[in-house]
Structure 1
Amino acid sequence: MRSFDLTPLLRSSIGFENLGRLADFATRDEGSAYPPYNIEKLGENEYRIQMAIAGFSEDELELIVQENSLIVTGRAAEDEGEREFLHRGIGKRAFERRFQLADVIKVTEATFENGLLNIGLVREIPEHKKPRKIHIGGENRPKAIEGENAKGVKAKKAA
């Protein structure tokens, strides 16, 4: 029997465990692992995606939230002059990275500092989806309607 490694499914999805969507997302060919990234859980409802994109400037990056996807795109600008490299070890190539987001995950901020793109996410659960306690008996129990007994027959008034 084969065992399945689910880590590729979980590393680019934030805030939900819908296995059907995750399996579909994982079967698509993403190409390379460039640029490298981390997904951190900062608190109960806070997350951060941190991408290492050395060599890019802020105007070469684009973040788009579309439906339940966060799309991060980097377009390398053309070098203005002739540059001769003896060794080119900093990979600055165009990329597009997609992250699947749950319905309750919202992108709150994006900062770019020291070659790291930080994208702040927060989980905002609507009031109707939050758990609520249901009381048994007590106040929520239906009350008898005055003037009728249990069988729906009008009660006789005692004189």
Structure 2
Amino acid sequence: MSRVSMFSAPFLLGFEAYEERIDRLSRAADGYPPYNIERTVEADGSETFLISIAVAGFAQGELEINQEDNQLLVRGRQKDDPSRQYLHRGIAARQFQRSFLLADGVEVKGAVLSHGMLVISVVRPKADRLSRRIEIRSA
């Protein structure tokens, strides 16, 4: 039995890769770590997005940010220190992976780690309208 999705509509050509990415993101949905996304619009029409991720307890060397195609991947890997002896352990050493799907033309500008917050700056420049006439040839 074939699967029907919104991307299987006949007028949506070439969106198969987006469907695959959305499926991958929905499977990776987890509540940890919590995050915010803020949007600002500049005077020139470009947009800036600030992705703030709560990564308290993670050092800069334990965090990794990669952009693969149109997907932004943020990973955190903490290592247990076997030399430490806990009487109570309420804060676990935990790993995470958080994914964000980026639209075409969106650029990751940088990231800052401060006070337990990782803030990633993402910019979408103002898109120029593209219009062109297609010549029709006879066969």
Alignment match, 1:33 = 31
Counting only pairs closer than 5 Å after superposition, residues 114-133 of structure 1 correspond to structure 2 as 114-125=115-126, 130-131=128-129
- Provide the rounded CA distance (Å) in 2 between the counterparts of 1:51 and 1:91: 18
Q: In the aligned structure 2, how far is the partner of 1:96 from the partner of 1:24? A: 15
Distance 1:40 1:78, change over 3 A: same
Q: Which has the higher strand share?
A: 2
1:47 to 1:55, Cα distance in 2 relative to 1, 3 A: same
Q: Please state how far the C-alpha of 1:23 moved relative to its aligned partner.
A: 8.9
Distance (Å, rounded) in 1 between the aligned partners of 2:29 and 2:130: 44
Runs of 4+ in 1 over 3 A off after TM superposition: 20-24
CA distance in 2, matches of 1:117, 1:98: 14
Q: Residue 4 of structure 2 corresponds to which residue in structure 1?
A: none
The residue type paired with residue 111 of structure 1 is V
Contact 2:63 2:74 in 1 (8 A): yes
In 2, Cα distance between the equivalents of 1:54 and 1:86? Answer: 18
CA RMSD of aligned residues (A): 2.6
Q: Aligned-pair distance for 1:25?
A: 1.7
TM-score normalised to structure 1 length = 0.60
Q: In 1, distance between residues paired with 2:53 and 2:31?
A: 11
Counterpart of 1:109, as a letter, is G
Partner of 2:10: none
Q: Greater RCO between the two (CA within 8 Å, min separation 6)?
A: 2
Q: For the Cα contact (< 8 Å) 2:37–2:52, is it kept in 1?
A: yes
Aligned length: 111
Q: Which residue of 2 aligns with 1:137?
A: none
Indicate the structure (1 or 2) with the bigger Cα radius of gyration: 1
Q: Which runs of 5+ in 2 are unaligned?
A: 1-14, 132-139
Secondary structure at the aligned position of 1:25 is classed as: helix
Q: Percent identity?
A: 33
Secondary structure of 1:42's counterpart equals strand
Cα contact 1:55–1:115 (8 A) shared by 2 = yes
Q: Which amino acid aligns with 1:121?
A: V
